[in-house]
Structure 1
Amino acid sequence: MPILRVHRLAIAALLSLTLSSSAWANDVYIPVAGPMTGSTAALGAQIRDGATAAMNSINASGLLPDTKPILRIADDASDPKRAVAVANRLTADGIELVVGPFPSNSSTPASDIYTEAEVIQISPGSTNPRLTERGLTTLFRICRRDDQQGRGAADYIVRHHQGAKLAVLDDKGTAEGIADIVEPRLRAAGEHTGRQSDFAGEKEYTTRVSKLKREGLQIVYVGYYNEIDIILRQAAEAGARLTVIADDPLMSSGLLAIAGEAAKGTLITFMPDRTNNAAGAAAVARLKDSSLSAAGYTLYAYAAVQAWADSVKRAGSFDATPVAAALRSGLIETAIGTVRFDSKGDNAAPGFIVYGWRDNTVEAVEQN
């Protein structure tokens, strides 16, 4: 058994005493691991802001007596190798929870490190189904899965754009998973759908956009983030009348920075907006007081910290095994509403809504 694991088990044995015991550590380190730099830094900022606000609230409430959770920020720039390096560094330092990483291709390899070190991992935005299909007992996600998201997107297209000329694009990488859900569901509904898989990492799409225009495509489902803004702008410049439908990472104002007016009308699947719900009102107010937005993944990161703290309180321990059992044991009230984790660690709460970009903001179009 690794020395680190023996050390953590010894600590866990002490921490399993009652809440009034002096065994509760004064400082507990809780990192947010995710993209603080790079092309998805806007999404990393949402996760950081949500976790920070939740940690401040927990410390002010006294929920965990004689304990001060301290937030740490770890940048992996959405790079899987860096996510693994971050995980090795954080677990060597001794942590109890990690919020993140994001996206799934970073969360998946990092999760093996966190599991070995017996650290609770809760991702606010890693949606690939494979993440929680591997039987890792300390791994959770508070967002929903791509198999649910892909079905919702395909069904929306069929309901509202039946008979339109369609194409499904992916990046020959992380986006293939959700594209592999959307395309066959469209075909099963009788839609004639093309598939293209050669956009990853490019900066110039005029040739491809011209082809899409020449083919008379009306609806394009794009299952990845980094180049959508460029595609939208160049399609608008070429006069291509495309309606783009994309998945959850597009829920960021960063889209507007490059696409500008061309982003209008773009459709996105994302989890339900909780900013106007009673459950999230206090969290939204705290964020607003700090001049922070509650958009996108922010409240989901906030809820991840809440769920962990609630489970630590009920377990009477920081040890990952009883905390994981407490996370799965019933309903947890959070800023996104009631959360219930299933045996795989997935959130069984309601799934995805279709949103549209309108006048520099997003609004719900239809609930799936």
Structure 2
Amino acid sequence: MNPYRLSAIAAAALTLAACNNAEPQQDASASAPAAAQEHVVKIGSANPLTGPFAHWGRDADNGVQLAAEEANAEKLTLDGKPVRFEVISEDDQADPKVATQVAQRFVDAGVAAVIGHLTSGAAIPASRLYNDAGITMIAGSVTSPKFTEQGYNNTFRIIANDLQQGQALAKYAVTELKSKRIAVIDDRTTYGQGLADDFAKATEAAGGTIVKREYTTNSATDFMAILTSIKGEKPELIFYGGMDAQAGPLVKQMRKLGITAVFMGADGVNTAEFAKLAGKDGEGAYASSAGASKELMPGYTAFNTKYKARFNGEIQAYAPYTYDATRVVIDAMKRANSADPKKYLAEVGKTSLQGVTGPIAFESNGDIKNGTVTLYRLESGKWAGVAKPASDASTAQ
């Protein structure tokens, strides 16, 4: 045998013996930091993060992220274990089919709750999967009455619905703006069509007349044909059920055709993006908000400061609502001492919370109690709350 090989073997043996005689290493699990022992509670956040509604979706997602980060800073424990909230953000593209795929991914991931979806058309089909899986769903922006008419006990919203918006807008159009001849356009989505239907019905109940009803899509950019058809009816007001991405070009094309009718929309139009897209042609437009005005939200000023510091941008619309929705879920978990939906769901229905957006409590069907609708007018590129045109009041509820 090669003597040099013997020497190498001996050296290796001595090294191994030295290792065995050294202080024993601690077990990895025993020495793991406290963070590794945390129970991770997953919260799904579903919004359109790409496409024409991405500015809304990112804003809504930011509200969820901020609430979760603040809860993590509290170092909460549930059932005696430290917990960390992890937000899983998914892009549903505001598309019903994609939304159900997102919902299935959330179910497979074992999320404890879902905040969203942003649009009614996405939220309603997705809600069926969450109901079947027993996952709590709280929406911060879904306004279709159908959302809470399905009879699911796990579905909630913290914002007024379209029936309330449609009635408030129609009453204002007919009784305050004195508009009797009204044309209605919608984008054929669950949100847009439902809102337009509610507005039209309320308009006629208030004494107005729907002189023309037209339809478009939520991806259209050319509205000249339908506006030409409407122009012949000499409307005093045109109502649009849809979102800002179409409303901006729509009002510009109205003015290009010489249509001087008042333009009105709902919360899908009440954004800084509409003001930017419409430019000077949007001046004097009216829109609603399915909630209190920023000036009357009890926690808006503090929230706005936190939001700007965290995301270096302006609130678009629904971040305060998704922030509150996330807080509702976490508050229910704390009261139930569990992140298991089977254990904390009952506490959601008992919620009594002072949120950024106002007091939060739920009706038995999941609607928020005492939902508020606020009306606005676009003045110098900014949405300002209104009462009557002659009074120039700063807010109206």
Q: What does the per-residue CA deviation read over 1:264-294, in whole Å, with 9 as the maximum and x for residues that have no partner?
A: 2221110212466443443222112122333
Specify which of 63, 73, 82 is matched with residue 89 of structure 2. 73
Deviation at 1:344, TM superposition (A): 0.8
Number of the residue aligned with 2:162: 146
Corresponding residue for residue 216 of structure 2: 199
Correspondence for 1:265:
284
On the 8 A contact 2:212/2:230 being kept in 1, the answer is no
Tell me which residue corresponds to 1:316.
337
Letter in 2 for 1:364: G
**What residue is the counterpart of 1:282 in the other structure?**
302
2:71 and 2:207 mapped to 1: Cα distance?
A: 51
For residues 100-127 of structure 1, the C-alpha deviation after alignment (integer angstroms, 9 at most, x for no partner) is 0121110000001111222111111111
Distance 1:237-1:195 versus aligned 2 partners, 3 A rule: closer
Q: Pick 1 or 2: higher relative contact order, CA cutoff 8 A, min separation 6.
A: 1
**How many residues are matched?**
346
Change (3 A) 1:207 1:54: same
- Which shows bigger deviation, 117-126 or 323-332? 323-332
Structure 1 partner of 2:360? 339
**1:81-100 alignment, distance < 5 Å:** 81-100=97-116
Output the CA distance in 2 between the equivalents of 1:152 and 1:107: 24
Q: What's the counterpart of residue 256 of structure 1?
A: 275
Counterparts of 1:128 and 1:143, CA distance in 2: 10
Which of 154, 167, 185 is the aligned partner of 2:183?
167
Q: C-alpha displacement at 1:358, in angstroms? A: 2.0
| 2:11 alignment counterpart | none
> CA shift at 1:89, angstroms?
1.0
Cα distance in 2 between the residues matched to 1:156 and 1:64: 49
Indicate the SS of the match to 1:78.
coil
Per-residue deviation at 1:258?
2.9
The yes-or-no answer on 1:43 pairing with 2:62 is no
What is the identity percentage for the equivalent residue pairs of Structure 1 and Structure 2?
A: 25
For the Cα contact (< 8 Å) 1:49–1:292, is it kept in 2?
A: no
For structure 2, list consecutive stretches of 5 or more residues without a partner in the other structure: 1-36, 388-395
Aligned equivalent of 1:188, options 185, 201, 205? 205
Larger radius of gyration: 2
Question: Under a length normalisation based on structure 2, what TM-score does the superposition of the two structures give?
Answer: 0.82
Alpha-carbon shift at residue 97 of structure 1 (Å): 1.2
The answer on whether the counterparts of 2:114 and 2:137 sit within 8 Å (CA) in structure 1 is: yes
* Letter in structure 1 aligned against 2:168: G
CA contact (8 A) 1:328 1:341 kept: yes
1:248 aligns to what SS in structure 2? coil
Matched letter for residue 332 of structure 2: S
Structure 2 CA distance for aligned equivalents of residues 361 and 324 of structure 1: 40
Equivalent position of 2:378 in the other structure? 357
Partner of 2:7: none
Pairwise CA RMSD: 2.0
Shift of 1:49: 1.4
Give the direction of change, closer, same or farther, for the CA distance of 1:274–1:260 in structure 2 (3 Å limit).
Answer: closer
